[in-house]
Amino acid sequence: MPKPQRAWQRMLSGRRLDLLDPTPVDIEIEDIAHGLAFVARWNGQTQGDYAYSVAEHSLLVETIFGRLCPQAGAAERLTALLHDAPEYVIGDMISPVKAAVGPGYEELDKRLSAAVHIRFGLPALPDPRLKKQIKKADRVSAWMEAVQIAGFTEAEANRFFGAPDRAMIADLSIRLRPPVEVRTEFTARHATLLEQMP
């Protein structure tokens, strides 16, 4: 009889996270922030001396979400900040790879997201309207990334991600920073939003 394959990962915090059955008690923000700060978006195919990390992307998405939904509370903003949190253990796959992998990736992502949300006092499943608004912010961020650091023309970015409201993002730009700096900002932003939650 074959030996069962290991389905857990040991985190720097010492936690063992079971990827097939994740529990909130095995999730720590320091592990998430560290992992996301070292995971490159766009498979690393971006300009600059540092990879554009999922942590940096998450900070930008939360900022854009706040502009799209200025009445959003801390819990909604925290949901936006953590929208890609599962990628701290499963990595960031570009959309064509996700489509090729199929529904298994999506199910894994959903289980991890639910555990992360519960760990930080959020509903396991976000309200569909909230999820839609966060996705809109995510697409605006992807447009900015595509044009500013991933080599897309504006016409290509418009076709794949939709044309954003330029006035809303006029003062925003993509930031490429050392992972440790991004990790620190991500952790601090998380702490601020948690403190603001009722």
Determine, yes or no, domain membership for 15.
Answer: no
Q: What is the dihedral of CA 15, 34, 113, 123, to 10 degrees?
A: 90
For residue 195, tell me if it sits in a domain.
Answer: no
How many angstroms separate the CA atoms of 57 and 85, rounded? 11
Residue 29 lies in a domain: yes
Domain count, the chain: 1
Q: CA Rg, the chain, in Å?
A: 17
45 CB-near residues (< 8 Å, 6+ apart): 150, 151
Give the pLDDT score at 166.
Answer: 95
Q: Is residue 153 part of a domain?
A: yes
| Nearest of 10, 101, 85, 45 to residue 18 by alpha carbon | 10
Q: Does 99 reside within a domain?
A: yes
d(CA 12, CA 187): 15
The CA distance from 101 to 176, in Å, is: 29
Residue 111 lies in a domain: yes
Tens place of pLDDT per residue across the chain (198 aa): 777 777 899 999 999 999 989 999 999 999 999 999 999 999 999 999 999 999 999 999 999 999 999 999 999 999 999 999 999 999 888 777 777 777 788 889 999 999 999 999 999 999 999 999 999 999 999 999 999 999 999 999 999 999 999 999 999 999 899 999 999 999 999 999 999 998
193 within domain boundaries: no
The verdict on residue 85 lying in a domain is yes
Distance CA 165, CA 183 (A): 29
Domain CATH number, residue 37: 1.10.3210.10
Res 96: pLDDT: 75
Domain of residue 144 covers: 23-183
DSSP structural state of residue 124 = S
Q: How many CB atoms lie within 10 A of CB 12?
A: 10
